[in-house]
Amino acid sequence: MGKIVRVLSNDGGVLCTAVDSADMLREIARLHESSQVVTAALGRMAAAASMMGAMLKYEGDRLTLRANGGGACGTLTAVADYRGNVKCCAGNPKATVPPKEDGSLDVEGLVGRDGTLTVIKDMGLKEPYVGQIPLASGGIAQDITAYYSFSEQIPTVCGLGASFGEKGEICGAYGYMVQVVPPVSDKSIKVLEENIAKMDEVTQISEHGADPERIALTALSGFGAEILDSWDARYFCDCSRERTLGVLASLGKKELARLAEEQDETEVCCHFCNKKYKFSADEIVKLLKD
């Protein structure tokens, strides 16, 4: 089970959200049978979306994060609810790219940066909120930082990482996001910069995985910060037969008529969890009449 921890400074001006996303990555690798570098990229998307989702206010609110950088993995999509439960998918989950010179996974090269990062917040209003920026690096964390800076004017530092063992097993994964509510004093900025410089040490993944409490408390050390709340978050797909029928209906009458005529059974596979839904030609015909 993943875990989200939030730490708030005493003056209420700085918030750090951190997530232990190792189990989310394991579920991504299991469901998508993704290459290691795609698992790493999706893991970063999932951790970021999870933390951003946790900032939504109400049950039923949803956040979608989409990175479309023109790279080998195709479009990456992650969807989170207001508790930070998340699901994600990649256009090409089996894509691979050569490692970087230092041997590490080249997530930036996989995602590419010839495109955009899109954030959609569906808060039950008539129109969802949509924010979009050109991808800054393709490594996701910097792109999230850039998104908050340009689109929401919230100074943000984001870190995302994962560690794999010799056999490719997932040892641990984390994400953190530090956000400052302006106005910010120069002194606070200086302390934050010092804290962020120390983050490499606390984001080291041990045999017990990442430690989101320690990450969040380190980010805000010197601010008299305390843990605000923490809760479990996981990889979770909320697809259903009914919702899948809704997606089918959106194909339009012409396509539905073709499906009903050409095949006795139409199978729809959920991109997020691979669950398969089967619909008879009669059910498709019924959709046509609605």
Q: Which residues of the chain form contacts with Zn ion (CB under 5 A)?
A: 237, 239, 270, 272-273, 275
Nearer CB in complex with Zn ion: 233/239: 239
Q: How far apart are CA 16 and CA 212, in angstroms?
A: 10
The position carrying tokens 């040490």 is 201
Q: Would you say 185 and 14 are in contact if contact means Cβ atoms under 8 Å apart?
A: no
Nearer CB in complex with Zn ion: 15/86: 86
CB 122 to Zn ion: min, Å: 17
Amino acid at 204: Q
CB 77 to Zn ion: min, Å: 13
CB 238 to Zn ion: min, Å: 7
CB 88 to Zn ion: min, Å: 11
Nearer CB in complex with Zn ion: 249/273: 273
CA-wise closest residue to 178 among 192, 198, 161, 162: 192
Nearer CB in complex with Zn ion: 88/219: 88
- Give every strand in the sheet of 14-20, ordered side by side: 156-164, 170-180, 14-20, 2-8, 226-233
For the record, the structure tokens of 110 come out as: 């996989």
CB 286 to Zn ion: min, Å: 23
What are residue 5's DSSP bridge partners? 18, 230
Q: Regarding beta strands 170-180 and 116-122, do their DSSP bridges make them parallel or antiparallel, or are they unpaired?
A: unpaired
Nearer CB in complex with Zn ion: 241/253: 241
